[in-house]
Structure 1
Amino acid sequence: MEGIGPSPGNAGAQQEQARQAAEKRENAQNSMLSQILEQDAMVRLNNLAAAKPDKAKMAEATIINMARRGQIAGKLSDEGLKQILNRVSDQSQSKTTVHFDRRRNAIDSDSD
């Protein structure tokens, strides 16, 4: 019955490998961003990552994709990063709408 299912030691090794792979990916992504962004833009992105990690990850992915497609020539300035952040923000904003159902209000008796 020992061959059924993963052994506890093997699962720990797999988790360690996955953690190392994720760390390696993150280091590669950070080095790529440092090559793409100017210093002030990198500071702004790091500040955003501290405040809103999800939005920063989306912006990082957008910047790296743009660089891979050749849409960024030279280093990206702080102003260029602001424009990208505005685009990411516009895409990720959810629109909230409120609908009033007046029929429910008919149950209340205001005439009392």
Structure 2
Amino acid sequence: DPGDAAHQEAKQREAEMRNTVLAQVLDQSARARLSNLALVKPEKTKAVENYLIQMARYGQLNGKVSEQGLIEILEKVSQQTEKKTTVKFNRRKVMDSDEDDDY
């Protein structure tokens, strides 16, 4: 299907563009840390990459981001996307409950 091929090619071009921008704004140790994070938390990595690309577009980055700078950005993104995990117990009443034994 030609539409699929074009879509795949566009996706590949976007990935190459992202990698090029990230290579320009991150130093070697920061890139290594980001690729390690991608293995564990791909969605967080995507958010950090988007943040870095956006900062690069608006000229907010002075030189390459070091590993320490990346850690600070990771913490910032974590605080923004932090989700509160809650566990809710839903106790169901059933006819065969042990609590309601009538002796």
TM-score bracket for this pair, using the shorter chain length: 0.7 to 0.9
Query: In structure 1, what is the equivalent of residue 5 of structure 2?
Result: 16
Q: Distance in 2 between matches of 1:68 and 1:17?
A: 26
Shift of 1:66: 0.8
Aligned partner of 1:76 among 56, 65, 68 = 65
Aligned to 1:4: none
Show the counterpart of 1:29: 18
Q: Which runs of no fewer than 5 residues in structure 2 stay unpaired?
A: 90-98
SS where residue 96 of structure 1 aligns? coil
Aligned length: 94
Give distance in 1, aligned partners of 2:39 and 2:2.
31
TM-score (norm 2): 0.81
Aligned-pair distance for 1:67? 1.0
Post-superposition offset of 1:97: 4.8
Structure 1 unaligned spans of 5+: 1-11, 101-107
Structure whose CA Rg is larger:
1
Pick from 37, 56, 77 the counterpart of residue 45 of structure 2: 56
Give the corresponding residue for 1:91: 80
Aligned Cα root-mean-square deviation (Å): 2.0
Greater relative contact order (Cα < 8 A, sep 6+): 2
Task: Give the CA deviation at 1:70.
Answer: 1.2
Corresponding residue of 2:34: 45
Give 1:53 shift.
0.7
- Could you state the TM-score of these two structures normalised by the residue count of structure 1? 0.75
